């Protein structure tokens, strides 16, 4: 069966004060999909969501919903509901009245509203909370009310703007599972905005990676992780060692002063490329058996594995291994052909992927992950 | 423990002294005079003498005028406050200063100015004359008295409403639109209920001074519209009947306390928005 396009963005452009936050965005979103818009702060993901919700109007381009253009349709006439970043529950209404808000506007009989509210409360595990004051609920409970308030209107599409951003880690994990379950149970299309790559990978059918107002890559979580298109995506999704390389011929690449077999082809002869090697794909071996060798500069215990930084000819690699090796020790690195991923050079080349300034990079990342706007 | 709690209360001392001197003591004086006669003997006769048609009319008129002035203030102030809260932060500051500006001038001068504007040969009629209208008789009417109240007390209505509207999270308005409200419905379902605390303090801050005001009626009403405040003033300043004046004050105070209690009841229902 042909999958049904529910939302189409065509050449969407948006500028704020002369700064282009969305640059010719084209994307199709299909019915019943769980789509995540992923990117650092300021990449345009929240603006894109707000355009779909109707709170922001694009400067140019078209927004289509289920085969009809809705660029000029006000939010209250769209079959789309939103779970807002900080919940935006109505403080003058109790839990029940918050959830019933949308249905009351539709003049539904109170009896039917009651049944539906009870059904929603059961779905979000808040039975018995009807009369509670929303201002006195915990963050997680407010979040559930916000989800119920949106879902009760049976929207075709649910927009979620960093809905779990304010929750602690444990609760966030639980809510991720719950959201995924709700999405599968209801069959509603979810468009989910987050800067948390782990959240995006674990929940989505489709991930849209954004940077600088442009879509960098659209794909399934595995595609995005295993086949990133450029250094930005490789770095943003998980940890990556990204090296300058040269494609010698099909299935043969040179980087870090050595030649390697790989699984990539279709590049020009001697084309300059970016090479990605994930930290977990590097095997630590005795120096004489290694394809590369280097000196360990730091070791961090992470629970499941050690994270070690290895200096190979000045370039700092990050490697995740379960075998302990101490700082100063010389080790060999072994890389299987399928651990090597080749990318075309891009505007992001040489900006990411070297761990020599690791701690500074962490700071940089935490800057990036600050809340949008 | 006891020492510590005394120390903890020390900063409140100036306020306590202030309250006792300027709030509690005068109240006791008012009550004392209200329940005594000229010789200092206990009596309820002062209240008895208030039970006349004349006083009933004065109380009723004061309440009516204050009520009308409050409603007019609310109708004018809400849109103004809403508009101001929607402008840029810098513009908001300028507009709020403009709202407060008249309050920098003396109350008497402001009221006198309205006399000059409203007189039969005043500014307004002169201006209207140039475009071939009027003259209209405006001064010494009930309308002029209410206008004086509205003009003088309008900022007290705008201020609290503006405060509550500027604290309103714009996301709530978006959420309301998202759930199916057009602009009108958002106003009635979200914006008005969430600014209720501002509306209630505004009503209190306009109604209370309006019902007890004096002078406005004397100057703009030409003495034809006696209000409670004027009557009290007369008892103290002209008739030197402190006992009757205090009794009227006492009744007025009870009336105000009653109406404020009703207002607060109204504000408290449906969960603590009035904090």
> Considering only CB atoms, which chain B residues are within 8 Å of A54?
177-178
> Considering only CB atoms, which chain A residues are within 8 Å of B181?
76, 105
Instruction: Report yes or no on A16 lying in a domain.
Output: yes
Q: How far is B83 from chain A (nearest CA, A)?
A: 20
pLDDT at B273: 39
Average pLDDT over residues B217-239: 88
Number of domains, chain B: 1
pLDDT at A193: 95
Please count the other Cβ atoms lying within 10 Å of the Cβ belonging to residue B19.
12
Identify whether the C-beta of residue B149 lies closer than 8 Å to the C-beta of residue B207.
no
Interface test mutation site (partner A, options B165, B172, B176, B180, max chain A beta carbons within 10 A):
B180
Q: What is the CATH number of the domain that holds A244?
A: 2.40.50.140
Average pLDDT over residues A19-28: 92
Number of domains, chain A: 2
Q: What is the CATH number of the domain that holds B258?
A: 1.10.3720.10
A211 with A254, same domain?
no
Residues of chain A in Cβ contact (below 8 Å) with chain B: 53-55, 74-76, 80-82, 84-86, 88-92, 94, 101-102, 105-106, 133, 149-150, 153
Token pair of A314, please?
A: 């000045």
Residues of chain B in Cβ contact (below 8 Å) with chain A: 169, 171-172, 174-182, 185, 189-190, 193-194, 196, 270-273
Instruction: Report yes or no on A46 lying in a domain.
Output: yes
pLDDT at position A160 over 60: yes
Give pTM, 2 decimals: 0.81
A322 with A359, same domain?
yes
pLDDT at A369: 46
- Grouping H, G, I as helix, E, B as strand and the rest as coil, residue A157 is strand
pLDDT at position B271 over 70: no
- Grouping H, G, I as helix, E, B as strand and the rest as coil, residue A340 is strand
Instruction: Report yes or no on A373 lying in a domain.
Output: no
Interface test mutation site (partner B, options A53, A54, A83, A92, max chain B beta carbons within 10 A):
A92
Mean model confidence pLDDT for chain A: 89
Instruction: Report yes or no on B152 lying in a domain.
Output: yes
DSSP-assigned letter for residue B58: H
Q: What is the CATH number of the domain that holds A61?
A: 3.40.50.300
Average pLDDT over residues A70-96: 93
Cβ-defined contact of A85 to B171 (cutoff 8 Å): yes
SS3 content of chain B, % helix, strand, coil (to 5): 75, 0, 20
Least confident of A266-275, A361-370, B91-100, B168-177: A361-370
pLDDT at position A139 over 60: yes
The contacts of residue A344 (CB under 8 Å, 6+ apart) are: A229, A230, A267, A273, A274
A99 with A32, same domain?
yes
Give residue A6's pLDDT band: very low, low, confident or very high (50, 70, 90).
very high
Give residue A18's pLDDT band: very low, low, confident or very high (50, 70, 90).
confident
Mean model confidence pLDDT for chain B: 88
Average pLDDT over residues B134-150: 89
DSSP states along A298-311 = EEEE-SSSEEEEEE
Least confident of A233-242, A357-366, B3-12, B260-269: A357-366
A56 with A162, same domain?
yes
Between vectors from CA B146 to CA B144 and to CA B147, what angle results, nearest 5°?
A: 60
Average pLDDT over residues B222-228: 87
| Spatial separation of the C-alpha atoms in residues B60 and B57, rounded to whole Å | 5
> Considering only CB atoms, which chain B residues are within 8 Å of A371?
none
Q: How many contacts does A have with B, using Cβ atoms within 8 A?
A: 68
> Considering only CB atoms, which chain B residues are within 8 Å of A94?
271
| Spatial separation of the C-alpha atoms in residues A39 and A372, rounded to whole Å | 10
Q: What is the pLDDT of residues A304-339, one digit of tens each?
A: 899 999 999 888 999 999 888 888 899 999 999 999
Q: What is the pLDDT of residues A177-216, one digit of tens each?
A: 989 999 999 999 999 999 999 899 999 999 999 999 999 9
pLDDT at A346: 86
Q: Residue A343 is part of which domain span?
A: 239-368
pLDDT at B268: 63
> Considering only CB atoms, which chain A residues are within 8 Å of B271?
92, 94, 133
């Amino acid at each position: 069966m042909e999958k049904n396009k529910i939302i189409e963005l065509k050449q969407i452009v948006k500028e704020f004060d002369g700064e282009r936050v969305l640059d010719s965005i084209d994307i199709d979103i299909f019915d019943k999909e769980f789509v995540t818009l992923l990117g650092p702060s300021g990449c345009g993901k929240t603006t894109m969501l707000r355009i779909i919700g109707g709170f922001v109007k694009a400067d140019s381009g078209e927004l289509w919903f289920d085969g009809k253009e809705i660029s000029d349709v006000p939010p209250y006439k769209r079959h789309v509901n939103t779970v807002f970043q900080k919940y935006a529950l109505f403080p003058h209404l109790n839990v029940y009245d918050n959830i019933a808000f949308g249905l009351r506007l539709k003049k539904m009989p109170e009896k039917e509203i009651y049944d539906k509210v009870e059904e929603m409360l059961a779905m979000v595990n808040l039975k018995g909370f009807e009369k509670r004051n929303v201002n006195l609920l915990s963050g997680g409970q407010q979040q559930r009310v916000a989800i119920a308030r949106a879902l009760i209107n049976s929207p075709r599409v649910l927009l979620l703007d960093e809905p779990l951003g304010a929750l602690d880690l444990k609760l966030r994990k639980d809510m991720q599972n719950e959201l995924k379950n709700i999405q599968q149970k209801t069959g509603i299309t979810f468009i989910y905005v987050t800067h948390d790559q782990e959240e995006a990978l674990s929940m989505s059918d489709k991930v849209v990676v954004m940077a600088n107002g442009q879509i960098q890559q659209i794909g399934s979580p595995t595609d995005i992780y295993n086949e990133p298109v450029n250094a930005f995506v490789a770095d943003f999704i998980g940890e990556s060692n990204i090296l300058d390389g040269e494609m010698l011929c099909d299935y043969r690449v040179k980087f870090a002063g050595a030649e390697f077999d790989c699984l990539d082809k279709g590049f020009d002869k001697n084309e300059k490329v970016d090479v990605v090697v994930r930290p977990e794909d590097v095997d630590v071996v005795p120096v004489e058996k290694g394809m590369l060798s280097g000196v360990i500069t730091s070791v961090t215990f992470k629970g499941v594995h050690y994270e070690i930084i290895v200096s190979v000819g000045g370039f700092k690699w990050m490697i995740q291994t379960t075998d302990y090796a101490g700082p100063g020790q010389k080790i060999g690195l072994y890389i299987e052909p399928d651990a090597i991923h080749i990318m075309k050079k891009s505007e992001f080349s040489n900006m990411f992927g070297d761990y020599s300034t690791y701690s500074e990079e962490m700071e940089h990342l935490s800057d990036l992950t600050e809340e949008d706007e | 423990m006891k020492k510590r709690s005394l120390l903890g209360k020390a900063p409140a001392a100036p306020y306590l002294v202030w309250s006792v001197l300027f709030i509690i003591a005068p109240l006791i004086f008012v009550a004392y005079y209200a329940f005594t006669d000229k010789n200092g003997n206990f009596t309820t006769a002062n209240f008895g003498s208030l039970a006349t048609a004349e006083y009933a009319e004065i109380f009723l008129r004061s309440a009516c005028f204050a009520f009308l002035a409050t409603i007019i203030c609310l109708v004018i102030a809400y849109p103004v406050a809403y508009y101001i809260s929607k402008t840029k932060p810098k513009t908001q500051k300028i507009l709020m200063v403009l709202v407060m500006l008249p309050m920098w001038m003396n109350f008497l001068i402001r009221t006198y100015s309205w006399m000059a504007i409203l007189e039969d040969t005043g500014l307004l009629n002169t201006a209207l004359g140039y475009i071939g209208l009027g003259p209209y008789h405006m001064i010494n009417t009930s309308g002029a008295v209410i206008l004086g109240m509205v003009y003088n007390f309008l900022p007290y209505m705008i201020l609290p409403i503006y405060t509550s509207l500027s604290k309103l999270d714009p996301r709530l308005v978006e959420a309301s639109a998202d759930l199916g409200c057009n602009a009108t419905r958002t106003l009635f379902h979200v914006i008005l209920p969430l600014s209720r605390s501002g509306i209630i303090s505004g009503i209190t801050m306009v109604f209370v001074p309006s019902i007890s005001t004096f002078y406005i009626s004397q100057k703009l009403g030409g003495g034809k519209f006696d209000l409670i405040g004027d009557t009290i003033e007369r008892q103290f300043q002209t008739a030197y009947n402190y006992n009757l004046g205090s009794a009227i004050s006492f009744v007025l105070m009870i009336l105000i306390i009653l109406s404020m209690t009703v207002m607060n009841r109204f504000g408290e229902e449906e969960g603590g928005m009035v904090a």
